[in-house]
Structure 1
Amino acid sequence: MPKAYVFTRSGGPEVEALVEQEAPTPGPGELLVAVRAAGVNPVDWKLRNGYTRPGSAPPQYPAVFGSEAAGVVEQVGPGVEGLEVGDAVFGNPLTGGYAEYTLMPVAVTAHKPEGLSFTDAAALPVAAATAYDGIRQLDPAPGSTLLINGAGGGVGVAAVQLARHFGVRVIGTSSAAKKDFVESLGAVHVPSGPGVVDRVRAVAPDGVDAVYDLVGGDALRAVAELLTDRKRLISAGGKPLAVELGGAAVVRARTAAVLDEVARLAVSGAFRAYVTQTYPLAEAAAALRAVESGHTRGKIVIEVAAA
């Protein structure tokens, strides 16, 4: 019977389990996908801890982890057009990506280009698409200066590269340990933590034109001081606080068209997915612990099955 990595109730790592469960059946507008790879994101363990996405119903237990996946279409539901059995796809699963089989909605599923591996494709629907949506929302002018607060994580890595691709100067904050990594992406690195505002001003005496926050909390409060126009502040890490400070939350498009564009940019070399670690499904717990630690570089992906 197919395997899946689940959480059985709200709580910590003790509520996680690798289980066997039947493959789901696709409904209207849905695809049954044999998963090849699944991206690991902070939202995965936050959902386990009890977080509920705005507008979403509480999870039905056992709930399968995973908000992004890539694989091969096994079955199509009623009304599906444009995708068929055997197609390689990636997107946002309905029933969790840490599984051998998952359901994916056609509206947020795209063809995987031949030049993109399943592993890299599985790293795009959450982190890279969030980065793309945020950069497009800010629409920074070429030559302007963008501060990315939290440049070393999955979203930050993609955001730095995309902004640089569009001709924007990027200052990226992260821990000192990620300095070389952030600089390799094309950003000017500034160590995060107390005194970050003075350090940013030292490398950008003319100020910054926009801030893309991926951290939230006190780190967001600090860098907000760098802007005279708070409307140029967006956040994916502390959305309510960003609004309180006069900015906005990142507006997610969540469409197949965005996934197509992100994949095109990846294949063209505009940015790399930067998958820095992979784990088999049997070691999903270790993959989650790595992301939950908050110290990862780039993306972690669970390779569910061989391509």
Structure 2
Amino acid sequence: MSERPSILLVDDEVSNIEILSAVLEEDHDIYFATSGEEALAIARTALPDLILLDILMPGTDGYDVCTQIKNDPLLADVPVIFTTALGDQEAEVRGLELGAIDYIHKPISPVVVRARVRNHLEMKRLRDDLAKLAVTDALTGLGNRRRLERTLNVETARLSLSGGLLSVIILDIDFFKRFNDLYGHTAGDRCLTMVAAALNRAVRHGSDLTVRYGGEEFACVLPEARFEEAMEIARGIRERVEALNIPHSGSEAAPTVSVSIGVATAPCVPGAPPEAWIRAADEQLYIAKAAGRNMVSGTIFEVPVAATVE
């Protein structure tokens, strides 16, 4: 997978795309679209780091495209630079009010384009780094609850375009309060970091997310994972935690630290509430606990969609 920044060029004039591409392709991965509709479709699949967007296009113009980008949870953080031959201040103000970060005027200056693109990509990288710190659990290095909620919002929106599957795993360390009482909070923190590492090793794909959901509770978001795959991963997590062989004399589930796990899988549909996966996985976690803990329970469920009011 390329680590170069990616840029989506949008212009109904192919010659303009060719000029911009020649200026930027040496240091960036380039996507292009010749209409607003095509731009939105490509943006949702390619997830570019930056979009250079023409204003005057037939059909869906640049203003409309920018509005849809900023209203889409999947794309809202992607910076947009308008490229335009319009020179009036009113047009610039309108674009900035819609969420664009800059303007590049035609005919373009290659030096100006490179400099502005470089600066905005660097600012985006810094914003992304700060955002990552804000959604990272300090103890385990996993994502935190905010990261979980944000990822669920993005993935349910993305996967609803194709009806793709989404699986969520929630797990809880069995009798963890007793562990802390018996061995102390330093040992408790060490246990949490070891379980977090085992969780990370069990998850297979770069698109999967692992988080510390709450005190001794963890979660995984598995985009496009079938139920059988999610259950296999959950069983792998349970086995890896068991293999840590951390003594727990206060547990009624096992002589060592163990976890109870709930799994929920459903296809994403437009309007589906992201928290539905959390609720369904939580219910399965409760079933696993009620059945004796140190086990996995899972379900394929139907996502409730709020009815629209006429």
TM superposition score normalised by structure 1: 0.25
| Greater relative contact order (Cα < 8 A, sep 6+) | 1
**Which structure has greater strand proportion?**
1
TM superposition score normalised by structure 2: 0.25
